[in-house]
Amino acid sequence: MPYILKNNKIDKRYEEKFFEIVRENLPVEKIELFNGLLDIKTEIIKEFLSDIIQTGGKLEKNGFDEILSLIFSIRRHKEKILNTVSVETLNNAFGLLADSKKSAEIRTGRFLEAFSYEDVIVKRDIALELLHFYEPGKNVLWTSWVYRQDNGTGCLPYTADFLKRTWDGNPYIMPFSIREMKDEIDYLYELSGKNGLNLKRPYGADILLSYMYSDYVYKMVYAESKSLSIGVPEGFTLMKKLLGIEKLEMRGMEEAG
């Protein structure tokens, strides 16, 4: 099966128009703001995982509360996780993610096995988001709002639809490995650079994908009801929520001051 993005033909006219629209609506100053907030998120997660190792897995539950609050896709599960998963299990499972000597695939697999929660999508989202921000130069962001391979949803296929790729009848859905998802994100950087959208690694793709998802949410709600769309947060607010950084702006200002 083909990748969603890579190795599929693009209609050049749609490609150019797509990036022209993104450049108009995602100004450089906003990209820089997001980069700064995502740097802060990385610092928090690195410190958290380092504390687990340094304390020998003795962190209290309030530390896990803060970290889980940074992951948009699992927030409605947060209370249930904290109420049903023991603090010993939390320390053990999260500690496995900090083992930089192991590959992301091995760490994710061990986390899924050790973390006693029934929803595997939730567990996977936790592992892959933390691995991305713990080692942002090595691991890409791949939570369920980016792409769910079990049902083919997320902002990655939504982005592909905008680029009007030719389709030969074969399904886009495929059981991506982490390596294959990294290839997709690398290609997104390549396309963006070629079309004048300056996305800096390691967070540029995160910012673009969150922009596309917020666009998707607004259009879906607006299609259902113009009046309901009034209650949808404006694009940049929704992007901050998706990236788990909406509460970090005050911290960023305090550090800058």
Q: CB atoms < 10 A from the CB of 27, how many?
A: 10
| pLDDT at position 230 | 46
- Structure tokens, 161: 């639809």
For residue 148, which of 104, 106, 181 has the smallest C-alpha distance?
Answer: 181
pTM of the shown model: 0.89
- Encode pLDDT of 95-150 as tens digits: 999 999 999 999 999 999 999 999 999 999 999 999 999 999 999 999 999 998 88
